[in-house]
């Protein structure tokens, strides 16, 4: 009887702990807080252990996770590290700042303590510690973004008020986890041969998925971490390049929706700089099948700087690729988007600064035909729509300004000495192509800046080779006379047809000729 009374006063093990804690994920942290407050940090090891759900018995050697690192001997520090990392596997809802405030603060302090421990680099990480660390990062970081969290990047020039990035309310917490992961990967105490078993292909794919977050702060952290993973784990490099290619393929040819293309291209830019010479066929295929088609999407302005850097890196590595790159850019040249056109002209100038004479001669005919179109830039003409005169005037002025911007950027190419040198050596081919565009601008362009640039370039060609210039001028005048004659003949033919149609009587469903005068409507 006395034995029963003694046993009844002893604390009993709860058989329902697992089910209760699975219903409330934050309860293990709450239990740790209550244990800590009742027993004290220094005596916590003497109290009952109620952390079996959070800390697997096979990993944790019974170490209370809230004990500071300085209070345990060196032999136990790695076990304490595993316990603290496992404690941080409990996640919370950060959308409501009033919930679990004490537990969130305990987890935050624990994460900061782990950051300091990893930064100190005092001990080599054991395999259980690497496993626990990767698992904790996976639990906290890897998540699926809700559908309304993803948005299609707006095309260049769109000022959508709803296009502002969404910031994750859990970022103050996530930032510490990212900092911890970065320091962990950078640590000299991490054995890459052991860690590669846990930072594996699956881990890397989930990491890449996070680049679609709308929070630019998170993408910046991910960019740094992925770059360090690529540098430390050489065995994963081909897989990372292949996975990046797949993301780009899906973006270009399927969705055109992804928030992290700029950051991924920035990573790849640093990867390209480390390519050995001569370039492998795999890398050339990436240039042609990935980087060149990335010029196509409407949202190219979001990542154009990084894309252009990658392309230039390839050309600097292997100058023979310049003509192929320019051919691809001309293939995806924008027809109705003047802002993209201006960016493409800037990229062409960078390529022309690095191109060799042989490669330039391969591409100069289609290139300067396109530049001639840009100098005139007729693609922003306004259409005849039923609108009031004031609105029509606004559209016309906007079109003329945009038209002028493209023409001006194209003419600025002649301010580059390297490009002028290439043109001078190939003037017999280039001047006849570009001359009609220059003459049309000189005759009737409304913008004084474009007009002055045109006259300067025309004088440059005249001083360069006066005989060729005069021959092109005579040819231009002859072509203009032919065009005028053809236009007059076409007009006379239509007049004859209209006259013949007007003499026929109208019967049944016969089409009736309506003169332009009859269709004019007074506004």
Q: Quick check: helix, strand or coil at residue 283?
A: helix
Contact partners, residue 63, CB within 8 Å, separation at least 6: 45, 72, 76, 79, 80, 82, 83
Burial of 82 (C-beta count, 10 Å sphere; 0-12/13-18/19+): buried
Average pLDDT over residues 400-412: 76
| Alpha carbon distances (Å) from 404 to 155, 230, 390, 441 | 21, 45, 21, 11
Q: Which residue has the higher pLDDT, 510 or 229?
A: 229
Q: Which residue has the higher pLDDT, 450 or 510?
A: 450
Q: How much of the chain, in percent, has pLDDT values that exceed 90?
A: 50
Instruction: Kindly state the tokens that stand for 288.
Output: 């042609």
Give me the pLDDT at residue 255, please: 86
The DSSP code for 72 is S
CA distance 346 to 350: 7
Instruction: Report angle CA 105, 110, 111 to the nearest 5 degrees.
Output: 100
Average pLDDT over residues 176-200: 93
Instruction: Kindly state the tokens that stand for 386.
Output: 């039923």
Instruction: Report angle CA 18, 177, 124 to the nearest 5 degrees.
Output: 90
Instruction: Kindly state the tokens that stand for 162.
Output: 């709803």
Average pLDDT over residues 249-275: 92
Q: Where are the alpha helices (DSSP H) in 357-465?
A: 357-376, 389-411, 417-425, 427-444, 448-464
Banded pLDDT at 514 (limits 50, 70, 90): low
CA 498 from chain centre, in angstroms, equals 57
pLDDT tens track for 330-380: 999 998 888 899 999 999 999 999 999 999 999 999 999 999 999 887 533
Range name among 143-152, 318-327, 357-366, 497-506 with the lowest pLDDT average: 143-152
Give me the pLDDT at residue 46, please: 37
Backbone angles phi, psi at 171, to 5 degrees: -60, -45
Range name among 175-179, 315-319, 508-512 with the lowest pLDDT average: 508-512
Average pLDDT along the chain: 79
Give me the pLDDT at residue 395, please: 41
Give me the pLDDT at residue 48, please: 34
Give me the pLDDT at residue 230, please: 94
Q: How much of the chain, in percent, has pLDDT values that exceed 70?
A: 76
Lookup result for tokens 């929706």: 257
Give me the pLDDT at residue 523, please: 42
CA terminus-to-terminus distance, the chain: 109
CA distance 18 to 330: 64
Q: Which residue has the higher pLDDT, 343 or 164?
A: 343
Banded pLDDT at 96 (limits 50, 70, 90): confident
Buried b (16+ CB within 10 A) or exposed e, 495-516: eeeeeeeeeeeeeeeeeeeeee
pLDDT at 187 over 50: yes
Give me the pLDDT at residue 152, please: 46
Give me the pLDDT at residue 47, please: 36
């Amino acid at each position: 009887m006395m034995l029963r009374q003694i046993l009844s006063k002893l604390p009993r093990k709860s058989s329902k702990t697992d089910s209760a804690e699975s219903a409330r994920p934050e309860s293990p942290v709450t239990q740790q807080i209550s244990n800590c407050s009742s027993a004290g940090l220094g005596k916590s090891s003497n109290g009952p252990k109620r952390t079996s759900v959070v800390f697997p018995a096979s990993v944790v050697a019974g170490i209370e996770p809230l004990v500071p690192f300085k209070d345990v001997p060196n032999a136990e520090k790695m076990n304490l590290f595993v316990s603290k990392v496992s404690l941080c596997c409990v996640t919370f809802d950060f959308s409501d700042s009033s919930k679990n405030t004490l537990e969130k603060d305990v987890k935050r302090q624990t994460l900061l303590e782990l950051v300091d421990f990893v930064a100190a680099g005092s001990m080599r990480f054991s395999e259980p510690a690497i496993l626990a660390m990767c698992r904790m990062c996976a639990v906290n970081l890897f998540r699926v973004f809700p559908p309304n969290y993803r948005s299609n990047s707006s095309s260049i020039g769109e000022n959508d008020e709803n296009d502002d990035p969404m910031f994750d309310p859990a970022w103050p917490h996530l930032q510490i986890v990212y900092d911890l992961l970065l320091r962990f990967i950078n640590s000299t105490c991490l054995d890459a041969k052991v860690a590669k078993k846990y930072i594996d292909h699956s881990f890397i794919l989930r990491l890449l998925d996070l680049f679609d977050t709308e929070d630019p702060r998170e993408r910046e952290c991910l960019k740094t971490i992925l770059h360090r993973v690529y540098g430390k784990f050489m065995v994963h490099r081909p897989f990372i390049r292949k996975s990046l290619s797949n993301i780009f393929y899906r973006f270009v040819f399927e969705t055109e929706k992804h928030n992290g293309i700029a950051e991924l291209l920035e990573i790849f830019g640093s990867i390209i700089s480390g390519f050995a010479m001569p370039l492998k066929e795999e890398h050339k295929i990436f240039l042609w099948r990935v980087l060149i088609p990335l010029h196509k999407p409407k949202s190219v302005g979001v990542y154009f700087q990084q894309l252009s850097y990658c392309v230039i890196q390839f050309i600097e590595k292997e100058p023979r690729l310049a003509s192929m790159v320019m051919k691809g850019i001309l293939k995806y040249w924008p027809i109705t988007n003047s802002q993209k056109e201006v960016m493409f002209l800037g990229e062409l100038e960078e390529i022309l600064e690095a191109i060799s004479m042989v490669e330039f001669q391969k591409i100069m005919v289609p290139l300067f035909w396109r530049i001639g179109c840009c100098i005139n830039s007729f693609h922003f003409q306004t259409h005849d729509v039923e609108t009031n005169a004031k609105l029509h005037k606004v559209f016309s002025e906007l079109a003329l300004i945009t038209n002028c911007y493209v023409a001006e950027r194209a003419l600025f190419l002649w301010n580059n000495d390297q490009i002028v040198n290439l043109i001078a050596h190939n003037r017999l081919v280039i001047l006849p192509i570009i001359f009609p565009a220059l003459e049309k601008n000189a005759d009737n362009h409304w913008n004084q800046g474009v007009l002055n640039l045109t006259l300067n370039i025309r004088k440059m060609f005249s001083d360069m080779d006066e005989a060729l210039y005069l021959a092109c001028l005579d040819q231009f005048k002859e072509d203009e006379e032919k065009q005028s004659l053809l236009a007059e003949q076409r007009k006379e033919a239509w007049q004859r047809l209209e006259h013949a149609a007007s003499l026929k009587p109208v019967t049944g469903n016969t089409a009736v000729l309506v003169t332009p005068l009859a269709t004019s409507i007074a506004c």
